[in-house]
Amino acid sequence: KLSNAELIEAYKDIKQSRDMVFLIASHDLRSPFSGLLGLADMLVSGLSDMPEEQLAEYLGAMRDSLKNTYRILENLFELGRIERQRTEKVIETIPLKLLFEEIINELASFIKKKEMVIIHKYDEEVVLEANSRLLEFVFKNFLSNAVKYSERGSEIVIDFKVSDHESIISVA
């Protein structure tokens, strides 16, 4: 049984975490929505005299912005599911190779669009004991950021090292 002081401290931690999520989400969503509104205004005001090529370019930009916004919303939803699951302490045996293959397949069009190559530098037989949803969320975020912020045509290296006391995974 928790004391009143422990309950108050737990409440403060939860409130601080929630506030941080709202702050990050509002920041991450503001830019795409601002861009979408700007594009929509341009389309509405210049639709009748806009060349078809320019219209296609604007619509493509809107689609890309909507995809990014949707990805942010998916991440928020997934984070909520992970938070609920975290309290349940769901630990599974996860083959690292399978986990990364699923993530790479999910991001394949994004990777292909930037003409990137993914290099694996880990023992494909490695198995982890962890919360699979949380691990997938973190790795997907690492890999998608690596693709997003790397130069077109570059290589992304996934490396995994295990020692007696720790496991180190890098995506660079």
For residue 109, the model assigns a pLDDT of 85
What's the pLDDT score for residue 148?
Answer: 86
pLDDT of residue 154: 93
**Helix pair angle (132-149, 96-106), 10° resolution:** 50
Amino acid (one-letter) located at 13:
D
Instruction: Determine the pLDDT at residue 11.
Output: 67
Given a cut of 50, the residues of the chain with pLDDT beneath it are: none
pLDDT tens for 92-103 read 888 888 888 888
Q: Which two tokens stand for residue 70?
A: 């949707």
Q: Which two tokens stand for residue 106?
A: 């999910």
- d(C-alpha 164, C-alpha 61), whole Å: 48
- The first and second tokens of residue 3, run together, are 């004391």
